[in-house]
Every structure is written in C-alpha cells, then in structure tokens.
Structure 1
Amino acid sequence: MALVLVKYGINHPVEKLKIESAKEGDSIVLIQDGVYWNLQDLSSLTKANVYILKEDFFARGYKEDEAKYSLIDYDSFVELIEKEEKFIG
C-alpha cells in the first residue's frame, strides 16, 4: 500500500497521473492546492481511499459540508504516514 500526496491543483498533469496510478488500498491525501481536486469525481480516476487535509480545505474557503471525501486533521495525516509502506509525493 502507498500514500500519495497531491498538493497541486486540477490543472497540474503530474497530479492527475499520481491519482490515476494509485491502486485500491492506497491512500491519497489532498493537501495545499490539491484540495481543489475535491471539485472532481475521482472515482473515475482511482479506487484508492481519498482524504482531504481539513486545515488546507478550510484555508481555501471551503466549508465542511462541501467535502466529497473524508476530512482529516494533522494527527490523522501523521497516522497515515506511519501506516503506509510507500510514499509518493
């Protein structure tokens, strides 16, 4: 299993490739401007679990009820980092 960090917005082609390369059982975390991927339906791109870093999401003006994916805080983010065997940043 792998942890995939997506930190750039929806117009960044490398981020789309990272999302598409994530497999079922992997974890994708949307951080920084990567939270704008919340606007997309990622189920057509990946079977991985998708999370959004709550602080980055709120900092960009979103409200909790606008999240299409699970919101996590920094403590949960650290737990994912510790749990996953591989890291793609």
Structure 2
Amino acid sequence: SANGKAKGLGEAVGFVKVVADAEHNEILGVHMIGPSVTELLPALTLAQLWDLTADEVGRNVFAHPTLGEAVKEAIHGISGHMIHL
C-alpha cells in the first residue's frame, strides 16, 4: 500500500482497484482488499447511485491523511495521474 494513513496504522497491506470503461470513464466495478476497506464504501456507493464517472469522483476532495485517499489514487490511476505509486 502506498497510503500514508495505512502505513501509520501498521496496516499497509491491500489495494483498491477501479475498473472503468475506456471510452467514457464510467465506473464498472471496484475491487478492495485489506483492513478497513468497508470505510471506503460510501464514496463509491454514491458514485454508483448517481452514475458518476471516474473523472467526476476524482474531482472530489479526499482528506489527508485518510484511508479514503486510496480510492482517489485508484481513480486517478485510470487516467495515469496517480500521485503516490
């Protein structure tokens, strides 16, 4: 894990993977493995409910340091703009 909060908690194992449509960046699915991943669900369930694209979710503010930053990193990875990996 490249997430600073996870490293600080001693839980630096796991990942967040976002699968998106290449043409429209529509989020098709998300895979999350690791401790406390259930804490990351609200942003993603809202994205699904409101049919948000990966670009739209990526413009959201994720506080630092939080585990939620892993979602933002995965979203930015779709467009090749990851910061911490």
**Structure-1-length-normalised TM-score:** 0.27
**Structure-2-length-normalised TM-score:** 0.27
**Higher helix residue share:** 1
**Higher strand residue share:** 1
